[in-house]
Amino acid sequence: MANGEGSPLPFNPYFYYIIQMDTLVDGTGQRLAQRIRLERDGRGWSLAELAERSGVSRATISKIERAEVSPTAAVLVRLASAFDLTFAGLLLRAEGPGERVSRASEQPVWHDPETGYVRKQVFSRPDHPVELIRVEMPPKQRVTLPASSYAHIRQLVWVQTGSLVITEGGTRHELATGDCLGFGPPADTTFANETNSTCVYVVALARS
């Protein structure tokens, strides 16, 4: 994994892509665009260097930083990994540290423009090791996240309503309402809702 001092992620042309995105229209998107630019500038990286480290095209990063497009979950995970941050950590920096009490009305909500899933950051602070996220996965949708996004965290998923299929590497887990899965060693992971109803699940993670 790349960080501010380390080596870049290996370049793989099959993952060097531009994903279809929508125009940013909300305050969260604007703050996220500014945060990504600040993280890049703070490390003294050019657009090309961040593109090489993350596997996201230079053109896409430029549009994200100018708040012209809304990045998908897959793109944000790759950018966060390049900065040596978790997905939630990057969103937290965009929103600010907040207070110890996380009010329901103030919890940041992010919509993935590619799949339509809704991610609410229930709790996250830079001085606390545990983060809590609530996700609504629409019917027949899936999201795949690279192993690098799990390198510095331990994570579990608890299904609240519906059913969810999680595939870690080559292992498939079918979770029903109330089931909970603790993740193993970092691996490419797919979250899939194979049903015709929305699935709601909670993600709890601890930074190691």
Domain topology for 13-207: Jelly Rolls (2.60.120)
Domain ranges of the chain: 13-207
Q: Render pLDDT for 88-130 as a digit per residue (tens, 0 to 9).
A: 778 777 776 556 788 899 888 888 888 999 999 898 776 678 8
pLDDT value, residue 11: 36
Burial of residue 193 (number of CB atoms within 10 Å: 0-12, 13-18, 19+): buried
pLDDT at 26: 52
Task: Please state the pTM of the whole predicted model.
Answer: 0.62
Q: Are 160 and 125 in contact (CB under 8 A)?
A: no
More confident residue, 9 or 46: 46
The string of pLDDT tens digits covering residues 144-200 is 988 877 777 889 999 999 999 999 988 999 999 999 999 999 899 999 999 999 999
Helices (H), the chain: 27-42, 47-54, 58-65, 73-82, 87-95
- Asked whether the predicted pLDDT for residue 87 surpasses 70, the reply is yes
